[in-house]
Structure 1
Amino acid sequence: MTLHDTGYVDAVLVDGGFDFESYTEDLFQKLDIACPPSLSTALPIRRAEFLAGRAMAYAALQALGQPTAEIPIGSDRAPVWPKASAGSITHARGLCACFAIADLGWQVGVDVEAMASGHALESILSMAANEQERALIARQTVLPRDRLATLLFSAKETLFKGLYPVARRFFGFDCAELQTPPANGHLRLHLTQTLCRELSEGEPYDIRYRITADYVLTWLAVHRL
């Protein structure tokens, strides 16, 4: 498990690996984490991902000095955080991360993606990037094509998580656009349409990121509107 500098006050970003082959049902009891009834018929890998995510969330709360309270699944499938904090959980291919902040004046999002290649990379370029973004990815020299495409996908997922509590509806990849190459660990997305009264077309959102050989990790905190 690793703690990262988030760039925000009273916030932590923690990530770590988990091995599905080592998962057993009794780990819920050993880690003192409740398995929700809604997962009783889920595949073991789904329960393992849930367990890893909640374990990472508890570690984040402890790092913030917050009580380790249960984080149930809400009606919209998003985690319901304790009243004194806000957070977001993500996992992909054996890596799990949690971004949490001890301030109710913020809403947050986090996403981790395995580096895309082959068909997955082409799917991202066709599904998550518009014509202008594909042209930007092709001509920029900041990052290799596969890294920037994966980063763009992850950043849009993070933006969705961060803005969903305000928008209160699902919105697609076409609702945000990358107009300039990322720099110094920051990527800026602009809304391409008005999502609700508080989220207007053209508004920019700066998303932080870190890239390894195998993964892209993005996170965002925005003031509650």
Structure 2
Amino acid sequence: MTEPPFPFLSTLPLATSAVANLSKIQLFSDTAQQLIFTQGHFSIERYQQTDFYHLMLDFPQSIKKAVVKRQAEYLAGRYLSRLAMRQSGLFDSEPPQLRTGLLRAPDWPEVVTGSLTHHQSKACAVVLTQPLSTENLIGVDTELWLTKQQASEVAESIHNSKELQILLHAGFTSTEATTLLFSAKEALFKAICPFIGEYFGFKAAELKACSWLAEKDTVNHRIGWFHLELLTNWVAAKAPQKNYCCWFSCNEFDVLTLISSDAVNTRWLRDTNKA
């Protein structure tokens, strides 16, 4: 994909890496340069442990002991994160290495708020150029489309019948609906887990509405946003908001979802409506 995944993003110059397993690296930002989004593809077959050395990335002992797939996706996520932090302009020198913090999430520098995601061959990183706060939070997720069998096995744990009907009415198949809601609720978890401080399930949030924005180029590229509401009382009590706008962008291969605070989304919606 050569165009921005969301309508409020603009394309920045392409980036390259010094290793063969990383390719198609793209950078984007919103008009206020507050959000930096990076994405790229990685190849497990071309990955080598020396890639960490060539990219000057830390290679933690826990990752050294992991399977090759985990090593390759970890490397891709950390590299894209560094590109996004460089683009932010907030660091006089090289951005610090990302450690692993609460709930196994990346431990971002205090001057930014970030989120990582990956599936089998693609990784994404987003950085907001402000410290984490109730008005500055971010969560991103990408998933390959589930198969019909996979979707049927997990659907009951992901959503209820009302949520499914909302997306069926919007024109998605049941398999697509399950994939999208899985991704959206994963993005929500990443956005608010620093405030919640512990794991919570998919049923803690419920889809209330789906708004189409556009179909781009082909019917296989669809963008818009969901409205999610927290239902579990103890989660809602700790969360910065009870209701969330979740952007989605999906094509024939995968889906991308993005959640931020109302304060940030208001500006993105305004910029989108102007376009």
Letter in 2 for 1:189: L
CA distance in structure 2 between the partners assigned to 1:114 and 1:78 by the alignment: 21
Matching of residue 11 in structure 1 with residue 35 in structure 2:
yes
Identity, in percent, stands at: 27
Matching of residue 33 in structure 1 with residue 57 in structure 2:
yes
Q: Tell me what 2:211 maps to.
A: 182
Q: Tell me what 1:123 maps to.
A: 153
Matching of residue 199 in structure 1 with residue 229 in structure 2:
no
Matching of residue 92 in structure 1 with residue 110 in structure 2:
no
Matching of residue 214 in structure 1 with residue 253 in structure 2:
yes
Equivalences, count: 222
Once the two structures are superposed, residues 106-164 of structure 1 have per-residue CA deviations (whole angstroms, 9 ceiling, x without a partner) of: 221110000112211213422211122123333x1343443332111100000011111
Matching of residue 60 in structure 1 with residue 84 in structure 2:
yes
Greater RCO, 1 or 2 (C-alpha within 8 Å, sep 6+): 1
Q: Tell me what 1:103 maps to.
A: 130
Per the alignment, in what secondary structure is the counterpart of residue 137 of structure 2? strand
**8 Å Cα contact 2:207-2:227 kept in structure 1:** yes
Structure 2 unaligned spans of 5+: 1-24, 214-223, 264-275
Q: Tell me what 1:173 maps to.
A: 202
Letter in 2 for 1:49: E
**8 Å Cα contact 2:236-2:242 kept in structure 1:** no
- TM (norm. structure 1) is 0.90
Per the alignment, in what secondary structure is the counterpart of residue 113 of structure 1? strand
- Structural RMSD (CA): 2.1
Residues 143 and 135 from structure 1, CA distance in 2 versus in 1: closer, same or farther, beyond 3 angstroms? closer
Once the two structures are superposed, residues 152-198 of structure 1 have per-residue CA deviations (whole angstroms, 9 ceiling, x without a partner) of: 11000000111111111111010101122232221110111221534
- TM (norm. structure 2) is 0.75
**8 Å Cα contact 1:142-1:181 kept in structure 2:** no
**8 Å Cα contact 1:178-1:189 kept in structure 2:** yes
**8 Å Cα contact 1:142-1:182 kept in structure 2:** no
Structure 1 unaligned spans of 5+: none
Question: 1:4: Cα distance to partner?
Answer: 3.8
